Amino acid sequence: MSKLFYNLGRKVGPKVRKAKWIWQSMTGTEADIIKVENDVGRDLAHEIRRQLKPDTDPLIEHLLGEIGPRLAECVANRHRTFSFEAVEGAEPNAFALPGGFVFITRSLVELCGASEDEVAFILGHEMAHVIRGHAMNRIISNTAISTAARITPARGLLSGWLQRVGVQFLESAYSQDLESQADKLGVRLADAAKYDPQAAAQLLSRLAKLSRPPEEFYLGSYFSSHPAYNIRIQTINRLLAKLNRQAKGS
């Protein structure tokens, strides 16, 4: 696996070096950071569309077209932009690329029962990984990629990397702390966009029941790689209680 990441890094070298330099530079502005994130994410998104067939179901496209922009309007940093696309996939899955490119599988939308409130939480969760810098940091902090990026003078597109490592690299789990951060911000975004934030706990409670054999295989790696459901639900319920207190006090 390390060799695959090394080969990936050889292809992305120039852009990763630029991104890492700006991230660490005291002179790089927030707009600069978002620009390089978008450069990296755009190339990756292009390859995602090659590897995963887009899902053109008009109902799902309409759903994402309604929910995504409402969530994006609630993002404080107006330099950030987001796009939302559905891809075919047997397993429920979603992931976000640097620059705000969010992908979700049809099966995950169906698992949410096409509920706008539940889909809003999923999209908000993935958007949070972009807003908090988790998506970009995953790329520039990977040891194999960083090493190759430092020593490789060749220029190339990110699509070459993704062809080598596959989308599993993007779907792999973040740390429990980062997932918790994404849950909290995802709930706040959904609430700000006037979706029911209670849907987050409802979705996770239902998934906790589905995760018991024999259904756990059906849920795939997206949910199983996240922190335990009971921990996520407790964290979200504490946040919901806080939001309710704030709403009553306003």
pLDDT tens for 42-91 read: 877 887 787 788 998 999 999 999 999 999 999 999 889 999 999 987 77
pLDDT at 146: 46
Average predicted confidence (pLDDT) for the chain: 75
Residues 21, 31: Cα–Cα separation, whole Å: 14
235 vs 173, higher pLDDT:
235
Residues 169, 155: Cα–Cα separation, whole Å: 21
Dihedrals phi, psi of 155, to nearest 5 degrees: -95, 155
166 vs 230, higher pLDDT:
230
Structural domain total, the chain: 1
pLDDT at 140: 66
136 vs 117, higher pLDDT:
117
227 upstream amide cis, omega within 30 of 0: no
pTM of the predicted protein model:
0.77
Domain enclosing residue 58, as ranges: 2-249
Report helix, strand and coil shares of the chain as percent, to nearest 5.
Answer: 70, 5, 25
Q: Is the pLDDT of residue 1 over 70?
A: no
pLDDT at 227: 61
Q: Per-residue pLDDT averaged across 24-47, rounded?
A: 73
Q: 167-222 pLDDT, tens per residue?
A: 555 555 577 788 889 999 999 999 999 999 999 999 888 877 765 544 444 445 45
Highest mean pLDDT among 76-80, 157-161, 204-208, 227-231: 76-80
Angle between helices 143-151 and 2-24 (to 10 degrees): 70
Q: Which stretch of 25-39, 108-122, 188-202 has the lowest confidence by average pLDDT?
A: 25-39
pLDDT at 222: 55
